[in-house]
Amino acid sequence: MNSTIQKTIDFVKEKLEGAEAGHDWFHVERVWKLSKKIAEAEECSTDVVELAALLHDIADPKFHNGDETIALTISRDFLVLQGIEELVIEQVLFIIQNISFKNRGEVPQDLPIELKIVQDADRIDAIGAIGVARTFNFGGFKNNLMYHPDIPPKLGMSKEEYKKSNGTTINHFYEKLLLLKDLMNTNEGKKIAEKRHVFMLNFLEQFLQEWNVD
């Protein structure tokens, strides 16, 4: 499996060349490493965890006109070519399809542990200092405002509203990032998320203090 993991790394690096800095190879590398760390304390298939972590952002629908099938096709073709068994492929594709925050309303309740692990890792990389940096980078990429005192956050948006939202970057913290710590699946994930959550609260407090010069 080690050589398959290395081939997957090379494949993902090549595919994500030039990607927005918050969804690039380095994001995937962090999620892969966090996934392995979280997996240490869980009974799971590490092959499935590693392959899913490496392939989870291979073709994010946000950057492909909303198409949610491209990532599955690319991943399946790649895994078949590597001679990976069908059962493992099915498990990996299920994770890629269901990992996303915006799909959380549609996901079946009884989730496989491998999905829970990679989802926690992906969510951890969305919070803390890295989370702040990624979020402002994405907001800049979209040319969104950093903050607007008269545009309040929209809580409880539907999947469609969330995808279309052109809100401010600061609002994204209230609409998603601050909710993540309570959505963690694993104990290790919860522990890491708790610390990063506190960092974001401090960041927001200081940001607003500095904004409101008086």
d(CA 107, CA 98): 6
Give 202's Cβ-side CA count (13 Å radius): 8
d(CA 172, CA 139): 9
Kindly determine how many residues on this chain lie close enough to bind ligand ADP according to the rule CB under 6 A: 14
Near ligand ADP by CB under 6 A: residue from 91, 97, 169, 185:
169
**Residue 118 near ligand ADP by CB under 6 A:** no
Q: Are the C-beta atoms of residues 172 and 105 closer than 8 Å to each other?
A: no
CB of 87 to ligand ADP, least distance (A): 26
Near ligand ADP by CB under 6 A: residue from 76, 116, 134, 181:
134
Please, what's the largest Cα pairwise distance for the chain? 64
CB of 85 to Ni ion, least distance (A): 25
> Which range in 56-64, 90-98, 111-119, 153-161 contacts Ni ion by CB under 5 A?
56-64
Tokens of 31: 């999620």
Give the distance, in angstroms, between the CA of residue 134 and the centroid of all CA atoms in the same chain: 11
In the bound state with ligand ADP, the residue whose beta carbon lies nearer, of 84 and 181, is 181
> Which range in 2-10, 38-46, 115-123, 161-169 contacts Ni ion by CB under 5 A?
115-123
Near Ni ion by CB under 5 A: residue from 24, 50, 120, 122:
122
In the bound state with Ni ion, the residue whose beta carbon lies nearer, of 101 and 174, is 101
In the bound state with ligand ADP, the residue whose beta carbon lies nearer, of 8 and 135, is 135
Near ligand ADP by CB under 6 A: residue from 58, 139, 181, 186:
139
**Residue 135 near ligand ADP by CB under 6 A:** yes
**Residue 102 near ligand ADP by CB under 6 A:** yes
> Which range in 86-94, 164-172, 191-199, 204-212 contacts ligand ADP by CB under 6 A?
164-172
Give the distance, in angstroms, between the CA of residue 152 and the centroid of all CA atoms in the same chain: 24
CB of 122 to Ni ion, least distance (A): 4
Binding site for Ni ion (CB under 5 A): 57, 122
